[in-house]
Structure formats: C-alpha cells, structure tokens
A and B are shown apart, each in its own frame.
Chain A
Amino acid sequence: MYTYDELDRTLINERVEEFRDQVKRRLSGELTEDEFKMLRLQNGVYLQLHAYMFRVAIPYGTLSSAQLRRFAHVARRYDRGYGHFTTRQNIQFNWIKLAELPDALADLAEVGIHAMQTSGNNTRNVTSDQWAGVAPGEIEDPRIWSELLRQYTTLHPEFSFLPRKFKFAITASAHDRAAIKVHDIGLRLHKNEAGETGFEVLVGGGLGRTPFIGKTIKPFVHGHDLLSYVEAILRVYNQYGRRDNIYKARIKILVHELGIEKFAAEVEDEWQQMRGSALTVDDAVIEDIRSRFTYPAYEKLPHMPEELKKAAHDPQFERWRKNSTFTHKVQGYAIVTLSLKPVGGPPGDATAAQMDAVADLADKYSFGEIRVGHEQNLALPHVARRDLPALWKALDAIGLATPNVNLVSDIIACPGLDYCSLANARSIPIAQELTRRFANHDTAELIGRLHINISGCINACGHHHVGHIGILGVEKNGEEFYQITIGGRADEDAEVGTLIGPAVPYGDVADVIEDIVEAYLALRERPDELFVDAVKRLGVEPFRERVYATR
C-alpha cells in the first residue's frame, strides 16, 4: 500500500471543498451547465441516462480494506447499494445525486480516495498490472513509477486541457496484464545491457472509433529521464494534436498521420531541450516514493501445506484453486482472483455487502490489500496457501468464487444502453445471456482461455477490438445489432480483431457466439491450442462460414 503524505491529503481535501462550492453555485444557478460541465467532468461526474454517474480512481489498481469499505459506504449511503468496477481501474456509482456528491467525495477523501481527472481532456488514472509487486519474475514494482506519474500528472497545469483524454499504463512483467499497447502511452519496465532499469515507451495505442496498437517510440528510456521524455511526448501532442475534430483528437491519430518516425523526431527535438533539467528524477525521489509503499511481512511457509493437501480431495475447491489462484513471488503464498462475473450477473458489479465482506477477508487473509484489474475482477494479492480452503468457502458464501477466470464467461463489458448516454445498444444483457450459455464449468474448461469483450457503442469502453471475440453494439433503424470480431488480444502480442461479417440482431448474438466456439472446438489442432491462436492460424473464413452459412 502507498501512504499519502500531508501534501496529498491537503490537495484532496481542498479539492473536495472547491467542488462543494462549485456544486452549490450550480444548484443556485450562479453557474450554467455549460460552465459547470467541465468542472464536474474533471471530478469524475458524468450525466447518464437515468442519473449522474460518479467515477472514482483506484490508482494502479491498489486498494486498502479501509478504502474498499468506504466504497461500500458510498454505495449504500449515496447510491443503490452497489458499484461497478471498470476496465481502467476505476469504480463507478450509477445513481448518485449531484446535491450529495460533495459529501460522498468528502467521505472518500478521508481514506485518500479522489475522483480527480477520471474524466475530461487531461491525463487519466495511471493504470498498472494488478499483480504488481507480487508477480514472479517482475523487473520491479511498477507502482513506484505509476505513483511518480500520478504525482506528476495530477493537476499539471500544462496538461489539464489537452486536445483529448490521455491514458498511461505500466507493466513490469513479460506477460502484459495492463494492456499497455492500447494506451496513449504504454510503459514496459525492463533492464538494458548495463543492467539499468528503464522503460520501453510505446505511443499512440488506443481503441474507440479508430483502433491502433501502440508503437515503440523509444526502446529504452532510463528511469531518471522518464518524466522529461513523457513531457516531451505530451508537449508535441499538445501542440499538434487536433482540436478541431473530436474524432481525430487522440494522440493515436497524430502518430498515425505523422508516422512514428516523424513523431519520434519531434519528440526527440523537444526532449533534447529539456533533458537533464529539473524534470530529471533523482534516486532520492524514487526512494521516497518506494519508502511510502508498505509490503507485507511474509512468513516462511511451505509450498504445499497440510490444509491444501486435505482440501485437494474436494473437486469444487480444486476447480476453483486451479482456475482462480496464481503463483506468487513468495513461496507459500498465492495471488487470488475474485471473479466479479457470476453466471447471469452484470460484469464488474459488486454489492456493498460484497465489498465489505471482501475488505474483511483482505484483512484476515491478504494483509488488508485488494487489487482491481482491467478485466473487471478483484484480487487478493498476498494469500497464504494454507488459507486458500477457508478463503474459498468464505468467497463462495458471498458469490465471489465462480471458477471462470480467463474463461469464456469472464466477460468484459461496458454498462451499455442500460446506463450510458453514448451507447447505441445494450451490453450487459448480452453478457448475462452468454454466461448462462456457458455456465457449465466443464465446457468452459474444455474451451480454455477465451476473452469475450462487449461494447455498447464505438467508443469501445468494453475494449471489444481486443477481445478474442469482440461484440460491438450498433443501432440500425431503431433496432440493436451487433458486429462480431475475432482474433483480437490485449496482451504483449496485442492485435485488433477482424470483423467476421454483417451485424446480427440482439436475439441472435448468443447463438452466433456458440457457433464460433463450436467451430473452434472442431478446428483446433490440439486441446491446448487457444481460441485466439486458432484464429491466427486459420483466419476468420472458417468462422465466418460457420456463422453465416445458415443465416
């Protein structure tokens, strides 16, 4: 966990009072909606179909049990008893009243939580690997650098009015769980030949209307130079990014139109003017940030404790253990993913009661720490393996032990037309129906790793472009239709999926997905050839044929 200093606490508290005054002036009519809109967006407040939506940041996906309990409190007191975890390590409350928002913000500020820059044309919440600090083989904890970037980008005067929103993601593992290649700037921590720690910097990735995979702009930037290099990128973007056309305003369009070589040359020119300046990151700064992260006092524990041996006779426990627990960097411990994808449930939603219960379980079994991943699941990052059987029982009792992590029913979905004012079609009911179709765990395990992503409009909050199967809702003559893509992926081999054919109506989507999965099972070379690898080998044609032959 990271402990905020006095400066952070003062900033968050002052922001609450500033927003309280802005809301008061809006409700009295002193501020018009046009004047107020930008202010509320910069505090994470959107207006959706039925109500205001309040988006709260979970920097680099790390939460304390006290913070999660406070989310439960906000859900219960100011909303309708639940929250929605998003694809960018935020939580959203869907029914909040503007008049009560300052109080909710003040309650969150007491535990160091804020909503600054969770919307608006500025740098958004810096996201990272939800296994940061516990993943085996990690170069170092990427949250140190995420925190540095959080401090640098928060209320940065030069970058508070960018041409469009701007998103960072950081990973320090070979396997990318942070989807860095589909971010405006993606950072991959690695070591150079001299053994120094630095970053591969990718730029211009993004989804939405025009998806692009990020391109490497510099293979190695030393940690000391991270801020100056990032600032050089932001300056070039701020100067040349399109402000005349919202659809062409993201940095990905600028990088695409200039070409990565020209864009890189512009950045290099800018960087050389500021390199070695006050933006150089001293070791002392990094050490100060590092010292504010607390790490558990792990015990020396056996890899295979008696409790685990005994529980292995229970097939339900074993199924969950094999699916939802992962290797920890410390022997005797495990990383546990808590699926927020129950059969028939809305992906990423958690009730206040569940949040409170998870906070209690984190205190009991995970040193009071919880993680949030972009796949819209939670994780307990430090669970002793001897405690897994007891934890499983407790999670099962609150509906958070569905053994479907990374399987076909672990669906990423945006709120869609049930909530969102931008959406053209519903996402959640499609996800719910698919989880029912694939509810049989034996079938899901037979299928293997398969990521389905659903977006209710072209803005792609459900990251459909990079789903192994992507589902995009569109509207045709007042009816909901869905385009299907296959072969996308969001990891270190990120790719944008390929459209398989004409959009299908709402009622046909689940059948179509079943057809695609059946085709895969018939066509795969071996049981361990993943869906996405089979698509890479075969192309989309066999799947297209299967889907449209009878439609």
Chain B
Amino acid sequence: MNQFSYLRVRSVEDAVRGVHGHPSAAFIAGGTNLVDLMKEHVARPSQLVDITRLALREIEPTDSGGLRIGALVSNSQVAYDSMIEQRYPLLSRAILAGASAQLRNMATTGGNLLQRTRCYYFYDVGTPCNKREPGSGCSAIHGQNRIHAILGASEHCIATHPSDMCVALAALEATVLVTGPAGDRAIPLADFHRLPGSEPERDSNLQPGELVTAVELPATGFAQHYTYLKLRDRASYAFALVSVAAALALEDGKVRTARIALGGVAHKPWRDLEAEQLLIGQEPSRQAFQRSAELIVRDARGHAHNRFKIELARRAVVRALEQASAIGQPS
C-alpha cells in the first residue's frame, strides 16, 4: 500500500472540501474494494477522506412513498431491514446474493455503487489496461475473458460492473443523491454508471469531488412478483457470470409493468426498455418471455471465452421471468 495522509471528517461539506482540488484524494467508507485496490497498487490515493462518521446511516421514508437509504448504511443493514425485506425484497435478495457476510457487514450502499470491476487485468498492474491506465490497451479482449462483457462493450474495454445490489436498483429505478462542489443533484440509476466507450477509466458519471449521500427507492417495490437469479461458478461468494433482476406488476392476469435488469454482462447494470415494453399487456408465458430475452441479446457479442454467456443470459431471463410471474415455479 502506498503512504497517504488521513483526514477524518464530520460533515458532508468538509468531506467534499477534503477531496475537491486533490486529484488523487479519495473518500473511504467500508474500504472493502478500495483497500484491496491499494494493496494491489491499482489505487494510489495521496489522501484518504474517512467519511464513516458522517450522519448518513438512516433508512427513512420519503415524501413520495419510497425509502431513502443513507450512503453509509451497510449492505447487511439494507438487506435485513424490515421495510426493505417487506417492500423491496428484490433488493434484499440481490444484496444477500453478493460477497460474504463479513464483507456485507463492512460494505456501504454508496461504496457498493462505486465498486470497480474485477477484470483480472485491471487488478494486474503488470499488464496493459485502459481503465487503469488510459491509452495502454485492453488485455482482456484477446486474453482471458470468461467473466467479461457481452453487451455494450467497446474496443477499449470489455469489463463488467460487479455489483448485485446495483442490478436490483436498476430494476427498481432507484435514484442516487449526490453532493459536490457545485451543489446537490439527483441521478437516476440508469444514468449513474457508464458504458466504457473511449473513456473506460470513468465508471460513473460522478464529477470530481462529488459524494454519494443516499439512494432513493420509488414507492413501487414489486414485492409480489420478483426474482433475483444469479448464475456463477460456485454456489456462494462468487461474482455473477450472469444475473437477472426481474420485477413484474400483473393485473387481470396480464403484465402491467415489467422490469428486467442484467448483471455480469456489461459495464453497467443492463436494461433493455424495448424488451420490457414487449411484455406489457401480455399474459405471462414462456413464449412471451423468450421473445423478450431474444431482444435483450440481439446485439450481444462474445469473445473467446465468454460466448456461452449469450445463451446463458437468454435462458436466465426466461427463467427469472417465469419465477417472478410464478409460472413454472418449482415450489
């Protein structure tokens, strides 16, 4: 780990001031990803601004009937919160599908949003990586790419976003609240993370010095018809090869609202509004779900080791929608 100066702050304003104007300063909260990246010399901050003493630890109702989750609420606290379990079980399931109990106890809501890819080459400072070192090249495109993206990738980067929580937040259409040198703003989750394009070093649309303060959930939680399906190399404690957050609202036996978000397949939680629209007004059926899944993977592109993910994603979408709508439910 590199040496750095340490600043513990007591207010959001001091936190923003501690990072603003220090290009290599970073906020730290749970530390589960940043400390690891520092050990690997991928992250070398000159100053760490410890935000763990800020008053961002509440889960509280919003005026619009949703919930506001403070940025420092741990992943465990969110997953086991009784309001989240009852009203947003999709979020609870997604969080509990990720990491280990110890890591969930440490990791925060804000940090989960900002965790970085687990691409092997991003972590290996001995290899080129455009995300770590812009312009150096992508080692994954012609290297080991079993865990990499099949949707929305670019010639500069085929990394995936590793979060499970964010896949559920995408399906729930959450909003990220941030404070920065230019004031406060609210960013819809769909616009929070980026596709790699020609700037893969930028994971999100946060501006320098901006701090995530909360995540807001809208009133609709899809607690009746939902599934988080995660497919991975071992039964627990592994990143998704493909995951699907499916949420449906049914009315008179037909789909009124459909949300489908995929993890493990792209640089951000992947949604396809056309594929969701296709289901509106339909009776839940395997055929309808297959048409939707087909649309989602229509532009998917595999590499040497991850072509299997295209078929896996197609089938995972169908299975998740079947489970969410309770057709073909095994129990």
- Chain A partners chain B: no
